[in-house]
Structure 1
C-alpha cells in the first residue's frame, strides 16, 4: 500500500486548491472553528477511499469503504469535531485524549488526531482495523491508536476522555460511555433508529447536560466484534 499511496499522492485531487474549496464550502455550511477547518484542509480524504472513488473524495457525500461501512461526508466529520471541541459556553477546548467509536477507514480519526494529543479508535471489524492501521502508519498519523473492540463497551483502560465521538447510531443513550468522560468532557453521537438526531452530552462533575441538534443518518452500531 505504501507505493500506491505515494503514487496517488501525485494526482490533482491532492492539491491545496482542491481541499481549499472543500474548506470554503464547510465554512459556508456553518463550520466556524478555524482549527477544525485547518485540520479538514490538511487531511487528504482521497487517500482514505478506494482509488476508483477518489475523484469524488471531496464531494460532500458519504462513500462506501467496504464491509458494509461508509466514510462520513466532510461536513459531518467537521461538525462532530467542532462539537467535540466546544462546550455550550466554550470558545474552543484543547483536547487531550479522545475516544472514537467507528474507526472505519481512519479519515475521521486522522482529523481528530490533528485536534487532540491522542485518539483511541475502536472498530468491531478486525479486517478493517488491520487495513486502516497500515494506512495510518504509512500516512504517519502516529497519535491514533486503532483498536479491535466492541464500541458499546468503550475503552475503560484509557478513560477518562476529553471527548468521545461516535460514528454510528445508538438506539439509546450509552450511559456506560458517559461514565468514561472526564469532567468537562463531551460525547458527540447520533441517537435513534429510523429517525436519528445528532446529540451532545457534556459532563460537569456527576451531572450531564444534553443538547439535541439536527437530524443525521448513520449506520447503526452493532454489538460485539467481527
Structure 2
C-alpha cells in the first residue's frame, strides 16, 4: 500500500465519526468499533511493511507469514483495550469484535480497489465476499472465544492467546490458498463463504446458547 491510504481513511472515517453525534447506545458503540477496525487496517499496513522490510521478505512470504500475524494482532488490540478498561459482560464482546472485523475488511477492500481497479466485476465480487467472510469469521471466532475464556480466570490468558492463534492460522491458510496457482486458489476464495453458511446453520439450529450474537 504505497499510495495515500491515510487520505482514504479520512474520507471513509469522517462521515462515520460525524454520525456518532446523532447515534446512541449500541448503535454508537458498533460504529466506534467499525472506525477502530478501519484504523487497525491502516496500522497493520505499516506494521506488516515494517516487518517485511526488516526481514527482507518478498511479497509471497510477507502475505503468507507476516501479514496474517500482524493483521490479527492489530485487530485484537482495540478489543483488548475494551475488555480491560470497560470490563463488558460476555454478551457485549462479540458485537464489538464483529464491528472491528467489518471496519477492517471494508477499508482493506477500498484500498484494494484503489490499487487494482474494479474493471473485473466477477473477480472483485469473489474477492470482496471471500475477504469479508474471512475477517467476519475471525471476528466472530475471536469474540466468542474471548467471551468464553474471560468467564474462567484460570484459562483467561492462555485461552485468549489460543483464540488469537487460531485466527492467525486460519488467516494464514486463506492467504496461502489464494496465492496458489492452481485450483487451490478458487478453493481459497470459496471456503470462507461456505464456513459463513455453516455458521448460519449452527446459529439456526441453536447449537450454541452460551454466547449471544447481537
- What TM-score, normalized to structure 2? 0.35
| Structure having the larger proportion of residues in strand | 1
Higher RCO (CA-CA < 8 Å; seq separation 6+): 2
Higher Cα Rg: structure 1 or 2? Answer: 2
TM-score (norm 1): 0.34
Q: From the two aligned structures, give the one with the greater helix fraction.
A: 2
